[in-house]
Structure 1
Amino acid sequence: MRSELFATLLPLVYGACFLGLLWQAFKIMSRGFAAVPRPGDQPRAPRGDRTGRLTIHPELLDADGQLTRDDLLTVRFSGDNEQPASPNDPS
């Protein structure tokens, strides 16, 4: 009895999962297709353009939300041909 119920429900559950995943795939692909400009489309200003904006990573902030004044550790890999920069170097 239990085996018959399982055999009856398995194709239904499988089909529902398949249709749900197919729907998600089409939603994601439609966003990608909408991002490509087509001939005749009106030019749009990009949303969220961060050109020229300063980004401060949260690791550089202290407990008060200010830039930390502590010395920061850096990692150098062997084979780097650059000269090490001094802490007072403005570049």
Structure 2
Amino acid sequence: MTIENMIFCFGKEGNQLKLLFIKRKAHPFIDSLALVGGFIDGAESSDKASVRETTEETGIQLRLDYIEQLQTIKIANRDPPQRVIAIA
């Protein structure tokens, strides 16, 4: 199972909502934009996986009390190498 983080912030002027993306480092879709995320390790909670993956991929440290689960995505063939269920 994986997590996909939708990390929002406001621009410097405070009136522009922004969404954080990363560039994929591996195939498939190398160099394409993607949401921050990855696989949940063993007995790790989805919240802790969100914090860990965000820190590993961006250096940003999320706070657990700012995380909210929006949806579980279970579309077949969404990720070519294997079937992946994602928690957004």
> TM-score w.r.t. structure 1 length?
0.21
Structure 1 or 2, whichever has the larger Rg, is: 1
Q: Which has the higher helix share?
A: 1
> TM-score w.r.t. structure 2 length?
0.21
Higher relative contact order (CA 8 A, sep 6+): 2
